[in-house]
Amino acid sequence: MKLLLLVSFLSLWRRSDGTGAAPIKVLVKEGDEAILPCSFSSENIRQELFDWKKDKDKKDMKEVFMYDKGNERNSAQDEQFRGRVFHFPEHLDEGNASIVIRATKLTDSGNYTCLFPLLVPERRSNVELVVGAAPKPSATILDGTTVWARLRCSVHGAFPKPDVQWQNRAGDIVPAEEPQVSERGGRYDIILQTTVTKTDHYRCVSTQEEINHRIYTETYVPVHVLASRGGVLWVIVLLEEDIGSNQALSTGYGMALQNGVIAFLI
């Protein structure tokens, strides 16, 4: 785990020029660890003081973590961060003042400042943390006939707001209705419905570009138009997971065909 954290840190680390100009952006999923990098040189900082605060507005600065010449001084630490913020004591000799926030929450998102207030000139760097909630979407068949099936894609509790699409197995976008979007407590619920007329594997795809995340749920939807002589053929479309087997099964009233389609001839 320590090696993994170090690799993650090195992939994000860049030394600041001390002006606090361009923030470094860190993207994580809710519940993961977030490493906020801070380093101005490779000089030993064990006998220095550095202070991490959240949000740039001086009227609403939250104390995140303070290191002072070998001691952690977190008596003023905001309750939001208690027990979840740590530094890297083994890397202080290398000038590393980075911290890690564990078990991240959506409310951890925001702007952080790493400050060396006793240096002349004062040095600081800014980090923007984006914590995203990326739930897996669900796909259901609402209704179906011999020629079409109506599908629903649902995403609940996502942040940032995802782009939701229906796609076929080839990756082509399937035309859909306008999405139904609601927001509560900073999380988004999205429902997207479509009607398909072809048998295929359909994917409900949720994309959150801000956190470089994409996830989908795939389901098989059989839609068959079958001809018959001397009668009317009724076809019921079923989800593949709703049937125990894909093998054909004859009954006295109809026939269960392959791929979850039950046909009745009357």
The 3 state secondary structure assigned to the chain is CHHHHHHHHHHHCCCCCCECCCCEEEEEECCCCEEECCCCCCCCCCCCEEEEEECCCHHHCEEEEEEECCEECCCCCCHHHCCCEEECHHHHHHCCCCEEECCCCHHHCEEEEEEECCCCCCEEEEEEEEEEECCCCEEEEEEECCCCEEEEEEEEEEECCCEEEEEECCCCEECCCCCEEEEECCEEEEEEEEEECCCEEEEEEEEEHHHCEEEEEEEEECCCCCCCCCCCEEEEECCHHHCCCCCCEECCCEEECCCCEEEEEC
Q: Mark whether 250 and 152 lie in a shared domain.
A: yes
Q: Mark whether 142 and 128 lie in a shared domain.
A: no
Residue-averaged pLDDT of the chain = 82
Q: Mark whether 117 and 185 lie in a shared domain.
A: no
Average pLDDT over residues 158-173: 97
Quick one: pLDDT band at residue 223, thresholds 50, 70, 90? confident
Domain boundary among 69, 102, 132: 132
Q: Report the pLDDT value the prediction gives residue 19, as an integer from 0 to 100.
A: 52
Q: Mark whether 144 and 251 lie in a shared domain.
A: yes
**What whole-number percentage of the chain has pLDDT above 70?**
74
- Whether 51 shows a pLDDT value over 90: the answer reads yes
Domain boundary among 117, 132, 147: 132
**What is the domain-level CATH number for residue 238?**
2.60.40.10
The residue with greater pLDDT, 141 or 230, is 141
Q: What is the pLDDT of residues 132-162, one digit of tens each?
A: 999 999 999 999 988 999 999 999 999 999 9
Q: Mark whether 120 and 16 lie in a shared domain.
A: yes
Q: Mark whether 152 and 79 lie in a shared domain.
A: no
Q: Mark whether 56 and 91 lie in a shared domain.
A: yes
Number of domains in the chain: 2
CA distance 131 to 32: 9
Q: Mark whether 126 and 147 lie in a shared domain.
A: no
Q: What six digits make up the tokens of 192?
A: 């997207």
Q: What is the pLDDT of residues 63-105, one digit of tens each?
A: 999 999 999 998 999 999 999 999 999 999 999 999 999 999 9
In this prediction the pTM is 0.67
Q: What is the pLDDT of residues 26-50, one digit of tens each?
A: 999 999 999 999 999 999 999 999 9
Which structural domain range is residue 247 located in?
A: 138-265
Distance of CA 180 to the CA centre of its chain: 20
- Whether 125 shows a pLDDT value over 60: the answer reads yes
The residue with greater pLDDT, 261 or 112, is 112
Q: Report the pLDDT value the prediction gives residue 35, as an integer from 0 to 100.
A: 98
Q: Mark whether 125 and 228 lie in a shared domain.
A: no
Q: Mark whether 159 and 227 lie in a shared domain.
A: yes
Q: Mark whether 62 and 155 lie in a shared domain.
A: no
Q: Mark whether 94 and 212 lie in a shared domain.
A: no
Q: Report the pLDDT value the prediction gives residue 21, as an integer from 0 to 100.
A: 59
Domain boundary among 132, 159, 186: 132
